[in-house]
Amino acid sequence: MCFGLVRDPSYNCSMDKLPLVGIVMGSKNDYDVLVAAVEILRTLEIPHEARVLSAHRTPDQLFAYVETARERGLRVMIAGAGGAAHLAGVIAAKTLMPVLAVPIAATPLNGLDSLLSMVQMPKGIPVATLAIGKPGAANAALFAAEILALNDPALYDRLVAWRAARAQEVLDQKLPD
Ligand code: RP5
């Protein structure tokens, strides 16, 4: 459930609070990658929503979504898409919220097409592009958390604990004899 202004049942909301992070993907098939972002946001207790919208196939609906995003409480956008991936750039063109882009390997070019489409934004419309695939999706969520933690000490503490746990995982690794 989502409280507040969200009435569209196609929104996938989380944590019974107004979402702070909006995840948009160009196809349901991209969710296999974007789920890595969802998992991080859940772990860090950051309210979020996820939705399928395509820059090419549903441009009007994408514009409508982005135009109301800030007034609905969203503060950071994560956009994942494959191929000629214009999703993040189009979102960035319509908002001043930070837009974090996740390139997805969805074509025979294995994500390089998506990476270059996202990273080569023209001066004036910034998009922060992460790595191709799940590592990029996870890092997009962590980056979103770092942005939100600037004004949320409790979230900052959760990030500190999350990173300490990752360090401990490495220190606990044992090599075979
Ligand atoms: C992009 O085209 C989507 O982001 C997806 O990665 C890719 C292929 O879309 P589908 O044919 O899987 O729906 O717009």
> Residue 75: pLDDT band by 50, 70, 90 thresholds?
very high
The token pair at 174 is 């044992």
Residue whose CB lies within 8 A of the most ligand 1 atoms, among 23, 25, 28, 29, for a mutation test: 29
Ligand 1 site, residue 55, Cβ cutoff 6 A: no
Ligand 1 site, residue 82, Cβ cutoff 6 A: yes
Sheet with 99-104, edge to edge strand ranges: 12-13, 48-52, 21-25, 76-82, 99-104, 128-129
Percentage of the chain beyond pLDDT 90 is 90
Residue whose CB lies within 8 A of the most ligand 1 atoms, among 30, 35, 118, for a mutation test: 30
The token pair at 152 is 């949320």
Q: Does the pLDDT at position 8 exceed 60?
A: no
pLDDT score of 11: 52
pLDDT tens for residues 131-154?
A: 999 999 999 999 999 999 999 999
Percentage of the chain beyond pLDDT 70 is 91
pLDDT score of 17: 82
What's the distance, Cα to Cα, between the start and end of the chain in Å? 50
**DSSP assignments along 42-91, one per residue:** HHTT--EEEEE--TTTSHHHHHHHHHHHTTTT--EEEEEEESS--HHHHH
Q: Does the pLDDT at position 21 exceed 80?
A: yes
Phi, psi of 16 (to 5 degrees): 55, 30
Q: Reduced to 3 states, what is the DSSP secondary structure of residue 9?
A: coil
Alpha helices in the chain (DSSP H): 31-43, 59-69, 87-94, 112-119, 134-149, 153-171
> Residue 9: pLDDT band by 50, 70, 90 thresholds?
very low
Reported pTM: 0.92
